[in-house]
Amino acid sequence: MSKPYYVDEDLKKFGEITEWQKELGEKYFDYYASVFKEGALTEREKALIALAVSHVVHCPYCIDAYSKDCVQKGCDEEQMMEAIHVGAAIQSGATLVHGVQMMNKVKDISM
Amino acid sequence: MALATKSLASRQSDLSNPKEQIKILSDNESVGVKSFTEKLQQIDLFPLKPTQLDIFQVNVGKMCNQVCKHCHVDAGPDRKEIMTKKTMQLCLDAIKNSTVHTVDLTGGAPEMNPDFRWFVEEISKLGRKIIVRCNLTIIVANPKYNDLPEFFKKHNVEVVSSLPYFSAKRTDSQRGEGVFEKSIKALKMLNEVGYGKEDSGLILNLVYNPTGAFLPASQEGLEREFKKKLREGWGIEFNSLFAITNIPVSRFLEYLIVSDNYEDYLTELVNAFNPTAALGVMCRNTISVSWDGYLYDCDFNQMLDLKFSGSTPQHLKDFNDKKLVERNIIINQHCFGCTAGAGSSCGGEVAK
C-alpha cells in the first residue's frame, strides 16, 4: 500500500525541525509563540485568521491545529466558516483581479 | 455522536465499575506517557500532601434531571443514591468543629435531595460560606423548584452553574436537548432576584467545560466572550467564568474511548503538565464526601471509589480533621486533568 504524503502523526513532530537547525528553528518557534500571544488582537481573533490562512495555503496540519484551537478559544461554527470564506474570497479575488492584466494584454494586441 | 441518554450504571456498562476505569487509567505505558507519580517526583511533590482543610464538598446524591454526556458522577434520573438527613447531620457535626470555611454542595442535582433545603439552612446557621452547584434547568424543571433563586438569596448561597457554551447547539450536544433554552430561562430568574448583578453581593459564577476532547482556552478570554454574548443575546449578567478541564472519569472517559480520542487527550493532558498548577491542586485544601458519608480527596476520586488512604478515618462517623491533613492524597493518571495548562479545580484555573 502506498504511504500518504500527509500523516497526522507528523504534526506532533513539528518541533523536531529544530534538531537539524537549532538556531533558526528556535527563532522560528519563539517568533511563532509571540505572534499568537494576546496583543492588539485577541488570541481568539488570531486563531480565526490562522484558520483562514491555513485553508488558503492548503495546509492540512494547520487546518487540524487551528480548527481545534478555534473551538478551544470559544469560536462557533458560523464564525469559523465565515473566516474560511474571507480566505476564499481573497484567494479567488487574487485570481480574478489578474483578469485586468488579461484584459490589458488583449487590448494591447487588438486593433 | 449519539447522546448518552442513560447512566453507565443503568446500561450496565463495564465502565460503571470504578475498578475497570482505574485499570484503563493506570495503564500509562500503552498511551506512551509518564505516570502522574513520576511527574510529582520530578518536582519533589510526591507523596502529595494536604495543606489545610478549607473546603468541605458534599455530594448529596447522584440523582439528576439531566444526563450530560461528560458527567463524571454518572448521574441521571435513574440514579437513586442520595444522602440521608442522618448523614447530613454527620456532615454538620464535622464542619462545626473544623477549619472549614466553605461548604460546597454538589450532585447530581443537589436540589433534588428532599432534605437539601434543611441542610442549607443548617449550614447557614454555622456561618460557613455555601456554594451550590446548580445545573440551572432544575430551577424550571418543576414548579416546586421555581423559588430556588429566592431560597439561595435568603441564605446568601454562591451559585455555580454549568453553561458550556453560549449557543444551543454546543450546550445541548453535551447536556441534552433543550438544556440551553431552559438554562437561559433559569439564568434570567437568578438575575431577577439580583444574582450576578453588580453590587448585589449575590454571586453567580458560570462553569465552562469543553464540549469535546480538547482543553479549555484561557479563562480570561472565555469569560470576556461569554459576558459579551450573554449580555448582547439575552441580557444575562454573571460574575466570573470558571474554565474547568474535563477529567477522564466515568462518562467522559467513555466518550473519549468511544470517539477514539482517549490516547490523544491523555497525551495532551500530560504534555500540558504545569508544576505551578500541581502546587495548587484543590485536593490539598478540599475533601469530598459521598452520599453515604465516605471521605475522599476529591469528587473524582470519589467516583473512582478511592477512599482516604492509610489509617485516615474513611467515614464521617470517625471524622478527624487533624488526622486527615496528615494523609497521602491518592493519585492516578486522571489527576493530569487538574494540572494541565493553567490548572483546573472546582473554582476554575489555579495557576495564572
A73/B217 CB distance under 8 A: yes
Tell me the domain boundaries of chain B.
14-339
- Report chain B residues whose CB lies below 8 A from the CB of A81: none
Residues in Cβ contact with B112 at an 8 Å cutoff, skipping those fewer than 6 apart: B61, B63, B64, B65, B82, B138
The sign of the CA dihedral B36, B39, B41, B45 is negative
| C-alpha grid cell, residue B339 | 494540572
Closest C-alpha to B92, from B70, B120, B72: B120
Task: Please say whether the structural domain B14-339 has been given the CATH code 3.40.50.
Answer: no
What H or E segment, with its residue span, contains residue B336? helix B336-339
Distance from CA of B184 to the nearest CA of A (A): 18
What pLDDT does residue B2 have? 52
> Does A44 reach chain B within 8 Å, measured CB to CB?
yes
Establish whether this prediction's ipTM goes over 0.90. Answer: no
For residue A43, what is the nearest residue in chain B, using CA coordinates?
A: B221
Query: How far apart, in whole angstroms, are the C-alpha atoms of residue A56 and residue A91?
Result: 7
Residues in Cβ contact with B206 at an 8 Å cutoff, skipping those fewer than 6 apart: B160, B161, B162, B163, B226, B238, B240, B241, B242
| Weakly modelled stretches of chain B, pLDDT under 50 | 3
Q: Which of A44, A68, A71 sits opposite B221 (nearest CB)?
A: A44
B225/A71 CB distance under 8 A: no
Distance from CA of A98 to the nearest CA of B (A): 40
Task: Describe the strand order of the beta sheet including B295-296 as a list of residue ranges.
Answer: B241-243, B204-208, B158-162, B129-134, B102-106, B55-59, B286-289, B295-296
A74/B214 CB distance under 8 A: no
Q: Is B304 helix (H, G, I), strand (E, B) or coil?
A: coil
**Percent of chain A beyond pLDDT 70?**
99
Distance from CA of A43 to the nearest CA of B (A): 8
- Given the C-alpha cell 450530560, which residue does it identify? B68
What pLDDT does residue A90 have? 97
How many helices (H) and strands (E) in chain B?
16, 8
> Does A42 reach chain B within 8 Å, measured CB to CB?
yes
A73/B221 CB distance under 8 A: yes
The partner residues of B55 in beta bridges, in order of sequence, read B102, B286
- Given the C-alpha cell 474570497, which residue does it identify? A89
Domains and CATH numbers, chain A: 44-108 (1.20.1290.10)
Query: How far apart, in whole angstroms, are the C-alpha atoms of residue B289 and residue B298?
Result: 8
Query: How far apart, in whole angstroms, are the C-alpha atoms of residue B194 and residue B261?
Result: 41
What pLDDT does residue B287 have? 97
Distance from CA of B282 to the nearest CA of A (A): 23
A42/B221 CB distance under 8 A: yes
| C-alpha grid cell, residue B229 | 454574548
Task: Tell me how many residue pairs between chain A and chain B have CB atoms under 8 A apart.
Answer: 33
What pLDDT does residue B351 have? 84
3-state helix, strand, coil in chain B (%, to 5): 40, 15, 45
A72/B217 CB distance under 8 A: yes
CA atoms within 13 A of residue B350's CA, in its CB half-sphere: 24
A71/B218 CB distance under 8 A: no
